[in-house]
Amino acid sequence: MLSEDDVRRIARLARIELAAAEVHGLRAELNGILGLIDQMRAVDTSGVEPMSHPQPLSQRLREDRVAETDQRERFQAVAPQVEDGLYLVPRVIE
Amino acid sequence: MHTRSIARLGSMLRARELSAVELATHYLDRIERLNGRLNAFITVDRDKTLAHAREADARIGRGEAGPLTGVPIAHKDLFCARGWLTTCGSRMLGNFVAPYDAHVIEQFDRAGAVILGKTNMDEFAMGSSNENSYFGPVLNPWDERAVPGGSSGGSAAAVAALLAPGATGTDTGGSIRQPASFTGTSGLRATYGRVSRHGMVAFASSLDQAGVIARSAEDLALLFAAMAGFDARDSTCVDHPKDDYVAGLGRGVKGLRIGLPREYFTADLARDVAAPIMAAIDEYRRLGASVVEVSLPNQHLSVPVYYVLAPAEASSNLSRYDGVRYGYRAPEFSDLNDMYAKTRAQGFGAEVKRRIMIGAYVLSHGYYDAYYLQAQRLRRLIADDFARAFRECDVIMGPAAPSVAFDIGARTQDPVQMYLDDLYTIPINLSGLPGMSIPCGFGDKGRPVGLQVVGNHFDEARMLAVAHAFQQATDFHTKTAPGFV
C-alpha cells in the first residue's frame, strides 16, 4: 500500500505537480490499481523468459548515414519559445 | 449518399457519377448538422478538406484513380497530418499543428483518399469510454445516454452515425474492437508490426497498433489495403508480404476451424451479449465452419499484466511532454523543474496522470523485478496460450466486451472497474495478434453487440474473409442508428 509520502515521491519522479488536496484521493486510486496488479505477483514464473516484444525479431540496422533533411524551422514553429534556432527554457545555471 | 459502401462510392467517383468535392461537401454538411449531438470530431476544416477533394477530382480526371480516390476518411486525432491540429485528446497537444504526415496519412494520401477531419478520443488513447477527452465525451449514436467505447470512440461514433464512410483508429488494449462493438460498426486492429506507427502518437510501444473502423468487412479490406505496408521509419514495422485483402474476401468459411476459448464464456459475460455471440457461432456452423473448444488458461492475468506494462511504457513515452519542444507550456513557473511539473500537471488529465504515476512506480528502484519483469514473464505465458490454441483452430471467436455500451458516467468513479471490462481484448494486444469486432446483434436497451474474431499473426486476409462471409449471410452490419439515417 502506498502512503501519501509515496504518492508525493512518485509524482516528483514523474515531474507532475500535485496540489496538497489531490494527494489523499490519488493515493486511494493508485492503491486500487496496485491491488489489481498484485493479483499477478503470486504466480510462479520461475524459468519463464520475459517477453519484451510481441514479435521475435531482432532490430534492423541501417547504414550510419544522414537520412534526415534539415527541417528545423518547420519543427521549431510549434515550440513554445525559440530564439536563433534554439529552444528557450528557464535559466538553469546562474 | 452516406448509406453507400466505400466500394460503391469509389466506383461512382471513378464513373464520374459523383465528384469528390460533392461527396466531401455532403459529409461536411452532415457533420455540421449532426456532430453537435455526438462530439465525434475534434477538428473539421472545410477549406482543407475541399482543397484535398479538388486534388482527388483532378486525379480522377487524369484517369489515375484507385479504389479510394476521392473517398473521405476521418482520422483518429493521434495521427499526425501536416497542417492539421493533432491533439491526441489532450490539452497537452491542444495547440499542436503537426509539421509532418504519419505514414498512415501518407498511405491514404497516395491512395487519393480525402481527409474529412480528426476524431475525438480518450486522452493519449487511455480509456474505454471516451470520457477522458479534454474536448469532452463522445456520445453513442445508438443511444445518446451511452458511451461509444474508447479510446477510438470518435472514429466509431462517426462511422456509426454515417458522418464518415470509414475512419482510422488505434488499439493498445481494445481501443478499436470495443468501440466497434459498442457502436455496431466493424473494426480491425492489425497484427503488431503490420502498419507503420511513424507519426502515430505513442502510448505503449510494445502494444500500440493501428487499424480501421468501417461499416463492413469489405470496406475494411479496401481501407486496410491502402493503410498496411512496410515503413523503415518505424523500427517495429515488419517487412511481411501483403495479401490481397479485397480479392480474398469471397473465399468463404467451409472447413474453417473456429476456436472458442472456454475461459471467455463464463459468468463475467452478460447474457444479452452471450446470446447474439452464440447465435453468430451457429450461423458460422451453418455456413460450413466447425467449432472446437480451446483453452487460454492464463487469460485472467491479462488485465493485471497490462496495467503494469502499458503504464510503464506510457510513463517513458510521455516523458517527452515537457513544455520545451512542442505542445502546452504552463504560463507561470519558478525554474526549469517547476516548469516541467506545472506543465505536466496542467497539460495532462486525471487518467493520464494516474497511468504515468503507476508506470513511474513499477519501474522505480526496488520494484522493477516484482512488477515489470514478472509482467513480462506472464505476458509470455499469455502469448503461448494463443500459440497453442492456433494449432487447433484458424480463428478464435468470442465477445469483444463483457456488456453492451454502458451509460455515460457509470464507470467514472472506479477506474479499476473500467479496466476490468477490457478482459477480452487485452490478451490479443499482449500477444501482438490481429483482432476484429463485427456487429452480430443487439442486447439490453437495443444497444449493439460485437463478435470478436482473432486471427494468427498476419492473417488479416483470412479474418476479413471470415467477417465478410457472416455479413453476406446476415444484415446486422447494415443497421443504422435511428437518429442518423
Task: Please confirm, yes or no, whether B175 is among the known catalytic residues.
Answer: yes
Strand, helix or coil for residue B21: helix
Q: Please compute the mean of the pLDDT values over residues A25-44 and round it to a whole number.
A: 95
| Pairs of CB atoms within 8 A across A/B | 167
Candidates B175, B163, B286, B159; CA nearest to B223 is B159
Distance CA B330, CA B412 (A): 27
Which of B19, B128, B151, B302 is catalytic? The answer is B151
**Does A22 contact chain B (CB < 8 Å)?**
no
**Does B305 contact chain A (CB < 8 Å)?**
yes
Which ipTM did the prediction report? 0.95
Can you list the pairs that B204-207 forms with residues at least 24 positions away whose Cβ atoms lie under 8 Å? Answer: B204/B172, B204/B309, B204/B310, B204/B311, B204/B313, B204/B314, B204/B317, B205/B236, B205/B313, B205/B317, B206/A52, B206/A53, B206/A54, B206/B309, B206/B313, B207/A54, B207/B172, B207/B173, B207/B306, B207/B309, B207/B310, B207/B313, B207/B429, B207/B430
Which of B128, B129, B152, B175 is catalytic? The answer is B175
Side-chain half-sphere CA neighbours of B440 within 13 A: 31
With CA atoms as reference, the chain B residue closest to A38 would be B304
More confident residue, A94 or B235: B235
pLDDT score of A94: 67
> Which residue stretches of chain B have pLDDT < 50?
none
pLDDT score of B267: 84
Q: Quick check: B342 and A71 CB within 8 A? A: no
Chain B residues 393-452 within an 8 A CB cutoff of chain A: 414-416, 419-420, 430-432
B253: its cell numbers: 468459411
pLDDT score of B164: 98
B151: preceding bond cis by omega (within 30 degrees): yes
pLDDT score of A93: 74
Contact (Cβ atoms closer than 8 angstroms) between residue B172 and residue B425: no
Residue A33: is its pLDDT beyond 90?
yes
Q: Please compute the mean of the pLDDT values over residues A66-81 and round it to a whole number.
A: 93
Residue A53 CB neighbour total at 10 angstroms: 16
State the amino acid at position B99 in one-letter form.
P
Distance CA B106, CA B282 (A): 41
Say how many Å lie between the first and final Cα of chain A, rounded.
Answer: 41
Distance CA B214, CA A1 (A): 44
Mean pLDDT for all residues in chain B? 97
Determine the distance in angstroms separating the CA of A64 from the nearest CA of chain B, rounded to an integer: 14
**Does A34 contact chain B (CB < 8 Å)?**
yes
pLDDT score of A57: 78
Q: Please compute the mean of the pLDDT values over residues A66-74 and round it to a whole number.
A: 91
Residue A62's pLDDT band, with cuts at 50, 70 and 90, is confident
**Does A85 contact chain B (CB < 8 Å)?**
no
pLDDT score of B273: 97
Residue A21 CB neighbour total at 10 angstroms: 8
Q: Please compute the mean of the pLDDT values over residues A4-30 and round it to a whole number.
A: 97
Distance CA B218, CA B247 (A): 10
pLDDT score of A61: 86
A54 by Cβ neighbours in 10 Å (0-12 / 13-18 / 19+) ranks as: buried
Q: Quick check: A71 and B99 CB within 8 A? A: yes
Q: At a CB cut-off of 8 Å and minimum separation 6, what does B53 contact? A: B19, B20, B21, B23, B24, B25, B70, B72, B114
With CA atoms as reference, the chain B residue closest to A76 would be B325
**Does A66 contact chain B (CB < 8 Å)?**
no
